[in-house]
Amino acid sequence: MAELRDLYQDIILEHSKRPRNYRALEAANHKAEGFNPLCGDHFTVYLDVAENGEIRDVSFQGSGCAISKASASMMTQAVKGKRTEEAQKLFEKFHHVVTGKNGSEAEDLGKLAAFAGVSEYPVRVKCATLAWHALRAALEGGKQAAVSTE
Ligand code: ZN
């Protein structure tokens, strides 16, 4: 079970128990629902994006497994204050690392590198990327978008 300990690192467990930015966002001008039918993870991601493309505020609500919830929580912290194109690039790197496509990009991820162990568990990849897919759908789809991992 050593590998499972790798997957559920302290920082992931901590964020799953006490998720950050866990609330609806009244001022949201972008919003998307993400659903992972394989696991039952279901979140809504809210964004307040300024005219210059800066993500002024971001939050999420919903329910899901420890991995999906921790990932959503850490995502909100990682993209807050960033420009939308920086957030998209961060998602690309995160996706490469959790799918095992390019583990070396973990260096650029900061705390998000804690999810690198997910690449050993293909089923969990969808949990770890759900909030990010919803983020992208919200940025591209505007006020009310939806995305499913299936
Ligand atoms: Zn899940």
The domain spanning residue 88 has which CATH number?
3.90.1010.10
Distance 65 CA to ligand 1 centre (A): 4
Domain of residue 84: give its range: 2-148
Quick one: pLDDT at residue 67?
97
Q: What is the pLDDT of residues 3-39, one digit of tens each?
A: 666 778 899 999 999 999 999 999 999 999 999 999 9
Quick one: pLDDT at residue 4?
65
Q: What is the rounded distance in angstroms from the CA atom of residue 40 to the CA atom of residue 113?
A: 24
Axis-axis angle for helices 84-98, 122-141 (nearest 10): 170
Q: Is 10 exposed, middle or buried (0-12, 13-18, 19+ CB in 10 A)?
A: exposed
Distance 100 CA to ligand 1 centre (A): 18
Distance 28 CA to ligand 1 centre (A): 25
Q: What is the pLDDT of residues 96-149, one digit of tens each?
A: 999 999 989 999 999 999 999 999 998 999 999 999 999 999 999 866 777 887
Quick one: pLDDT at residue 1?
45
Report residue 72's pLDDT band, with 50, 70 and 90 as the boundaries. Answer: very high
Distance 72 CA to ligand 1 centre (A): 11
Distance 52 CA to ligand 1 centre (A): 34
Specify the number of domains making up the chain: 1
pLDDT reading at 94 higher than 80: yes
Q: Extract the runs of DSSP E, i.e. beta strands, from 5-144.
A: 30-36, 41-49, 55-63
Predicted TM-score of the model (pTM): 0.93
Distance 42 CA to ligand 1 centre (A): 9
52 three-class SS: coil
Q: What is the rounded distance in angstroms from the CA atom of residue 75 to the CA atom of residue 91?
A: 9
DSSP 66-134: HHHHHHHHHHHHHHTTSBHHHHHHHHHHHHHHHTTS-GGGGGGSGGGGGGGGGGG-HHHHHHHHHHHHH
Other Cβ atoms closer than 10 A to 4: 10
Distance 35 CA to ligand 1 centre (A): 10
34 three-class SS: strand
Distance 135 CA to ligand 1 centre (A): 17
149 and 35 in contact (C-beta within 8 Å)? yes
